[in-house]
Structure 1
């Protein structure tokens, strides 16, 4: 059993070792699918105390929230991206854009994680950004070009070997020749219809015309859905640039999603998007629109050949709106019921950084929405990022978790405690 302490040096060493070994580690999926042992016995554990954790806690002292709310360090989780909270409340699985999925456990239920270790270390993951759970406890992990299914992850994650199966085999999510290093952070959610919805960002800043037919066929630059046994794949959403967050309205069942918009058009355009989809097959405008109603330079002179659904909310340009979740808990005040909490990762190429905060969006009965900052302060007076929020998930007690892939952490936001 190996323990790595969460210091910068140790993380660099661990990352280097993982990269060096990845080519030599066999993909044990066939063995796990047949309930066979792989021989892997060691986990990587992440130290939860010490100077690194104390530094994160100092950063959290500067985060501003509405009255009555507080934010605390829940867990140190390297490269933390999207989260899936187990239906039984036993463990939270956290994806990354590297080769790890982390299992985060609060064993004594004091609302601080006691243990963070890698999940299914006998498997070789490739950008396992998007974990999601079905209501009956099946865990799905959307990777760069594969979707894996773990029927009992919440109960068998204590072992390095855990039953695992292909939902979508490697190379079948997108054509292998369309694999890219860009916009490959997939996310998934189970819809009210019981199907799994998976976003497929297209790899370009603006998708070229000669790719559009292929991408529409596969759902690249859109969202696909399928049955939870992998059958019945169909394209549900078109005209997305790179959506890295979606959820379903708890009352209407409608799909809402964020979308990252075109770069290189200036600091203040185009806006980011929060979208609402009311029926299958709707098109949200890419590549003819760069964001909101702003036309892209590449397609500016062309007639738009589809009917476009424009965003419900125009977000600040380049704030990089990512993960989102409807709030259904009972801990927060009533005005937050069925509101959307979403993470802005922060701009990467804007003259003055924006974002790096958690937003809240209130949705009325007609589907109209208004957004405002909820938790902010991760950009300091020197315009330096102290953290970059990625995703928002709800714990069973009604508090919410926020992931941060820069600090490598999960934060817990509670009310009235």
Structure 2
């Protein structure tokens, strides 16, 4: 019951009041040369995005217990179709596609829908891969999942609190074989990561992490981290943003004991899903950049986030400060959307999920639209 009460409090902000009307792009701004459209406004609570081999877009959800399949996106000759391929699940926010199968993450279970693109109209019953994921009633119980270049399934395990000493039970990333066996701890000291990504040409894992609350408007920053060796620790709860000791837990630990972030993303922006943009390029300015969905702050007097940003790399492969790509999801005290995940498409366009308005957006480069 406690878990369900917590879930209600979290997803209550995911429903757009009817007085505001249907989702619209009119309040949103995009970087020069880009065009934004709404693919569907029928994906309530949309969170993580996964791509099937045949162009199907799969979406986990935060609130309604559904997993969606969206077809014919970017095909002007066919209408977009939204199907529900799984329902009555518990916070199935994480989805990942691998070898024809769709993997789904609940708080305590990993499920799989076999050969899903052959059965979009008659989806199979979810098969349980494991029902023993680390779980505790409290904060950050939802999961983000992704398959790495090693063929293993990576799963984020959030800390069940704003700040607490979780040891090595929570606040980490784990990995498993696709059949759920051989579970391994990958990284520690992570408060709440909701985004994992690898470059096509690299083996290092990149991930976002949300900084703790209740330390002021501007501290600590959310983090962009990279894992370069197994079982690195990134500091939580002892050290935040690489250089700020926690006022309670940091007295016995130096920040120098932990791996610092490669980039500070800003306090309370709630950086979630991230992906590398690796072409074909709709805009050459995005080649090799990271795309990051900033869900938006709640613990800040002046809200931050509520946008999609790009992080580009210099000639020495060092990440640069984030640049807005899509913004305006919050204006004049009103929230119109909260980006949750980003996903480049094979045609160069970029998908963005929004769990507040229940929408899926598609960003294209304007020159491509005009062809």
TM-score of the alignment, normalized to the shorter chain, above 0.5 = yes
Selected match of 1:196 from 144, 153, 177: 153
Matched with 1:126 is: 90
Cα–Cα, structure 1 residues 410 and 113, in superposed 2: closer, same or farther, change >3 Å? farther
Give the SS at the match of 2:22. Answer: helix
By how many angstroms is 1:199 displaced? Answer: 0.5
Map 1:30-69 onto structure 2 (within 5 A).
55-57=22-24, 60-69=25-34
Contact preservation (8 Å) 1:247, 1:256: yes
Residue 293 (1) aligns with residue 243 (2):
yes
By how many angstroms is 1:364 displaced? Answer: 4.2
Selected match of 1:88 from 33, 39, 54: 54
Cα–Cα, structure 1 residues 192 and 366, in superposed 2: closer, same or farther, change >3 Å? farther
What is the distance in 2 between the residues matched to 1:315 and 1:350?
15
What is the distance in 2 between the residues matched to 1:280 and 1:230?
19
By how many angstroms is 1:336 displaced? Answer: 1.3
What is the distance in 2 between the residues matched to 1:276 and 1:138?
28
By how many angstroms is 1:133 displaced? Answer: 1.0
Contact preservation (8 Å) 1:186, 1:198: yes
Residue 207 (1) aligns with residue 164 (2):
yes
Q: Which runs of 5+ in 2 are unaligned?
A: 1-7, 9-17
The superposition leaves residues 247-305 of structure 1 with CA deviations (integer Å, 9 ceiling, x where unpaired) of 01222221000000100000111011011111111111101113342111112321249
The superposition leaves residues 11-46 of structure 1 with CA deviations (integer Å, 9 ceiling, x where unpaired) of xxxxxxxx9xxxxxxxxxxxxxxxxxxxxxxxxxxx
Matched with 1:266 is: 216
Matched with 2:109 is: 146
Cα–Cα, structure 1 residues 254 and 52, in superposed 2: closer, same or farther, change >3 Å? farther
Contact preservation (8 Å) 2:232, 2:259: yes
What is the distance in 2 between the residues matched to 1:329 and 1:318?
30
Contact preservation (8 Å) 1:79, 1:97: yes
By how many angstroms is 1:383 displaced? Answer: 2.3
What is the distance in 2 between the residues matched to 1:53 and 1:265?
33
Matched with 1:336 is: 286
The superposition leaves residues 154-177 of structure 1 with CA deviations (integer Å, 9 ceiling, x where unpaired) of 221211x415322212xx111xxx
Matched with 2:318 is: 368
By how many angstroms is 1:316 displaced? Answer: 1.3
Considering Cα pairs closer than 8 Å and 6+ residues apart, tell me whether 1 or 2 has the greater RCO.
2
Contact preservation (8 Å) 1:74, 1:111: no
Matched with 2:35 is: 70
Q: How high is the TM-score relative to the length of structure 1? A: 0.79
Aligned length: 348
The structure number with the bigger radius of gyration is: 1
What is the distance in 2 between the residues matched to 1:74 and 1:52?
22
Cα–Cα, structure 1 residues 114 and 287, in superposed 2: closer, same or farther, change >3 Å? same
Matched with 2:11 is: none
What is the distance in 1 between the residues matched to 2:286 and 2:19?
33
By how many angstroms is 1:234 displaced? Answer: 0.3
Residue 352 (1) aligns with residue 352 (2):
no
By how many angstroms is 1:114 displaced? Answer: 2.2
Map 1:314-329 onto structure 2 (within 5 A).
314-329=264-279
Q: Which runs of 5+ in 1 are unaligned?
A: 1-18, 20-50
More helix by share: 1
What is the distance in 1 between the residues matched to 2:206 and 2:177?
20
By how many angstroms is 1:194 displaced? Answer: 0.8
